[in-house]
Amino acid sequence: MPLQSKPLPAETADALHQATGLRARAVPMCTLHPAESSKDTCVVEAKSEADVIAVLAYAHERSLTVLPFGSGRHLAYGPPAEVPDIALMLRPMNRVTSFSPGDLVASAEPGITLAELAAVLSEKGLMLPYDPPVPAAATLGGLLSAGLSGPRRALYGSLRDLAISLRVALADGRVIRTGAKVVKNVAGYDMTKLFIGARGTLGVVTEITLKLRPLPMHRETVLVRGSAAALAELRSRIAQSTLVPSRLEMVWHADLGTDFVLAVDCDEPKPSAKAQTDAIRAMSRDLGLAMDVVEGEDADAWWSDLSRRLAERRVCIRLQGPPTSLLAAMTRAVEAASALAEQTEGVTASAGGLTGVARIAFDPARAMLDRPAPLGAIADLAASASLDMVVERAPAEVRAKHQPTLAPAALALMQRLKSTFDPDNLLSPGRFLGGM
């Protein structure tokens, strides 16, 4: 008996609307993100967890694939997505569902943006200490799916550390909760972390509960200029001291000239921040390095500018490894990226002196996209320095050529997890490593 062909996107949209009452339409996949396919897909908007359950149950019954997304910004991350039968838009799910300022805990839906969440939290003097290099319009669910982190990971940890509970709709429409809505939680296997970075392949997250922190009473950032080698030595001295920076990044972009900048941030009260600044000033003077200090809104603007520069480029390469090895490789990494970029002035690099995570972002020259191995120079550099390299964001043709491979044991484990949570391979097919 021949296999029954799947309905056209417009037919799926009509049938889905009739079955669930939800707004659905057929649109080209590239309208969700310009780096993806121009083939049509059925897009449906979910405004609640009940809507998500209805769509998943409908798709499961008919063996249709589903790709959840928020603003679509993170579709250019990870392996190129297969065009799904249904693209499930979660952006309308943008409420803070519960907020307990005294307990430093809040729960929110996946479609809320970082800017929207920050506005609610700041009214009570709180923040989510999470600063991935993305626009403020990026959604919390998309960031959780991509598993990104930012410079503040140096003190506060990654989103894996800040997320304490999830509500997740599985492929067949069932809903599970991981963790608990309290900071102190005793449990067995931490299933919350399982869904972070899974790119929507195991379930659709419908609510995230997060640990919060008080907004800093004082912001002070030290900016030390110099060569990468000299700043690596300064980083080492800071790391071995009793100082507690909230962010420590070595940064390069064309506006800084030929120098790198080591940016050291402090979230402590003003007296403690001043003491840290004085200690770094003494270390910098000993190494013959120039130093500036920015405070308050000027410090916030400096970090926002760095995030913007990293987020607006079409290609972003992530390198990971020991901070000493990472910082030592940064000069060569910038040179390699400059050779591939449309304009050298468009290259931005930032390396975490405590996190061991670096990003090199640039707009690629057309010739780079046409080469069989366009990132060969950076890949060779990563291999020679024993650093892991991930193409974090890039056009589909570049990502297709540069996806990391999983060790056989890790691949087998992930395949077992996928078959447990989504045995019919209906959720975000192809979005995880190994074609899962």
Taking the C-alpha atoms of residue 262 and residue 144, their distance in angstroms, rounded to an integer, is 28
CATH 3.30.465.10 fits 96-214, yes or no: yes
Taking the C-alpha atoms of residue 369 and residue 363, their distance in angstroms, rounded to an integer, is 11
Q: What is the pLDDT of residue 133?
A: 93
- DSSP class of residue 139? B
Please check whether the two domains, 9-91 and 96-214, share a CATH topology. no
Q: What is the pLDDT of residue 3?
A: 47
Q: What is the pLDDT of residue 410?
A: 76
Q: What is the pLDDT of residue 399?
A: 78
Q: What is the pLDDT of residue 39?
A: 86
Q: What is the pLDDT of residue 188?
A: 47
Q: Is the pTM of this model over 0.85?
A: yes
- Identify the segments of the chain with pLDDT beneath 70: 1-4, 35, 180-189, 367-374, 404-406, 433-436
Q: What is the pLDDT of residue 334?
A: 93
Taking the C-alpha atoms of residue 284 and residue 230, their distance in angstroms, rounded to an integer, is 9
Domain range summary for the chain, segments of one domain joined by +: 9-91, 96-214, 220-401
Residues 6+ apart with CB under 8 A from 58: 16, 19, 20, 64
Q: What is the pLDDT of residue 2?
A: 42
Q: What is the pLDDT of residue 419?
A: 87
Q: What is the pLDDT of residue 1?
A: 33
CATH classification number, 220-401, choose in 3.40.1560, 2.60.40, 3.40.462, 3.90.1280: 3.40.462
Q: What is the pLDDT of residue 361?
A: 95
Helix 49-62 and helix 9-20, axial crossing angle in degrees, nearest 10: 130
Reported as a single tens digit per residue, the pLDDT across 91-143 is 999 999 999 999 999 999 999 999 999 999 999 999 999 999 998 889 999 99
Distances in whole angstroms, Cα of residue 247 to Cα of each of 12, 30, 88, 130, 235: 48, 36, 36, 11, 12
Q: What is the pLDDT of residue 181?
A: 59
Reported as a single tens digit per residue, the pLDDT across 142-201 is 999 998 999 999 999 999 999 999 999 999 999 999 976 555 444 445 788 889 998 899
Q: What is the pLDDT of residue 162?
A: 95
Q: What is the pLDDT of residue 140?
A: 96
CATH fold for domain 9-91: 3.30.43
